[in-house]
Structure 1
Amino acid sequence: MRFPRVKPEHAPSRSSDGTIRLGGVMYGIASEIEDPDGWAWAALTLMDGTRPTDEITAELAKRFTELTPEEAGDIVATLLSSGHVEEADPGPCAELSEREKERYSRSRDFYRWIDLTPRDHGWEPQLRIKAARVLVIGLGGTGGHVAWSLAASGVGRLHLVDPDVVELSNLNRQLLYTEADIGRPKVEVALDRLRRLNSDIEITGESATVAGPDDLDRLVDGFDVLALCADHPREPGGIQTWANRVCARKGIPWVSGGYNGPLVSVGVFGPGGPCYECVRAGIPPQPGADYAWPGVMAASAGLSGQLVAHDVLALITGILPAPPGYFHGVALLDPNGHVYAHNPSLPGCEFCS
């Protein structure tokens, strides 16, 4: 970095014993540095975006004569690699237009906050999103929110699949549709709405039923991530099982989510972790476990869709993704009711053991 500065969201604090905390404890990205001599604190204070790296190193060695220039350089280098520091004068990003930079400026701020990888200009996560190809199957309560969120986030190519038409009973939770759309194919309406939301990306779709693994095999070809938001055919042996097997053969990560009444949960699966069937085998049977229970309101559908979209974007950007082989979510009736399920691969599983 030429002119490093501490990210504003990661502003350091120092306790009486000299311990420095960066990143904020409540966000899960905090770091603590034991600094009894004040060396790291002085270096961080100097990192205000106005000094080049070599000047910071020289000033640190000047203030603390017990440090050699090499030791001062090591302290500065360690802080630069921590992820809490950014380039105050980043270079240009020619891959994004000025329009795109304005549109996604708040996304850049978000990723700057949570990303602990030093970057050249901070637009790297958005470039990955722009290059991504995502398939969304199912445009109901969960899938509509997923498609909207991914389009708003700038996913370069979205392909939407759903066989249904809009019904009045959909309108309590499915944000893409209005009363005027009743009777129209969901894909047709979704394409119209999302293309008006973001005309800078490619959005395609088809009104089709996924009737078996062969259909899914055809659909996922050429995509980086599958967002599975359909619940038919139901489990056991339904569309989630098909996705598990097809995506495992092709090495494609996938995210599935939905709502079982007040329980909202999301599963992340893909190379490097236990597969859906192995994880699901360790969860006791319960009503609606395949996301097919009818009770839902706008908020629970929105939560499920946004959690799925978040995990898809985490897979695309590589920034704090959920490890494959996990279910997670929330129980809306219990403030402490966090969902977390992870079971190992079953012995002899042909997909992940």
Structure 2
Amino acid sequence: MVKSKNNQRINDNDPNNNNEGDEMNENADPNSGNYDVKLLLLGSGESGKSTFFKQVQNERRRVKNTVHFNVVSSMAVMCQKLKELNLEFSSEELSKCAERVLQLSKNRAFMTSTTSVKGGDRNFYTDEIANDIYQLWKDSTIQKVFQNNRNDVHVFDGAEYFFERLDIIRKNDYIPSEEDLLYCRQKTIGIVEVSFDHESLKFSLFDVGGQRSERKKWVNCFEGVSAVVYVSSLADYDLKMYEDDSLNRMDDSLTVFEGLCNGFFKETPIIIVLNKTDIFKKKLEVHGIEQCFKDYNGSQDYDESVQFIRNKFLSLNKFDEQRIWIHECCATSTDDVRKVFEQIKHQVAQWKRNH
């Protein structure tokens, strides 16, 4: 569990508490522990669940290599898509840049050394690679692929943020900022735990991997759960699954939720966090949610669209409707997550005392 260096629990009622030195248990046993409230954080892959967890945990780790991995892999998939579309770069030099980036993205040592926040000692993000990516990002053909095909090639949501900071992340003394950390995509593998106190209750929050390959581990966490926090991305209504291009991500999220709320957790409080409100608002300016929901006849208004999605989730529940709560959130906003999580803790504490 997340503890301070002297092995004490985090008291989130202490305004002087700073968790920057915390260590987390990345192979936590969710069925053993001394706590009053066990929260299970679930959600589909890339829902922003782990970003939400990082905000709750106040995680500050050195993720420089992971940032570099995100930038290289995102540029690589766009270069590959460019080839598939039979598009050409404006110069032979740019083609060589693309080949070097593609080659690095397939380097097993690079992949294994950067998908961990601890990273590796070897620097794969050389000046040459940094220059390659900088030149490619400026190219009009890559920009065309990014604008028109980013959903097809699964470019992660934080890609543009980092591409606009290429001059910063290439520096040898670069240390990711708090904002960088929140935009940095990192898959949750296994089970991670953070513990804290709230209203005289001891809480433990378990974050479990959301990728399809990780979901088989969920059942190992089900024992003694006080409440489930289920994160779903509002912005996924026009995206396909990374693991299955035939399946819409929003549909998958709804299906997973239906199985949870009517199965093992049919009597357990479930808090739905509709995440990525910022991206959702931008997408609505281009096209509405009818891309996913054929029965939607409303406008592209944010409130109307969100209410429809909220009702979709609520309609799937076949048991006590009082145990389902829904919040909207932008997990990259520290203030947003703080407010939402305070509400969640209060709701769960109240439920715990009344049931």
Q: 1 or 2, which has the higher strand percentage?
A: 1
Scaled by the length of structure 1, the TM-score of the pair is: 0.32
Task: State the structure with more CA Rg.
Answer: 1
Q: 1 or 2, which has the higher helix percentage?
A: 2
Higher relative contact order (CA 8 A, sep 6+): 2
Scaled by the length of structure 2, the TM-score of the pair is: 0.32
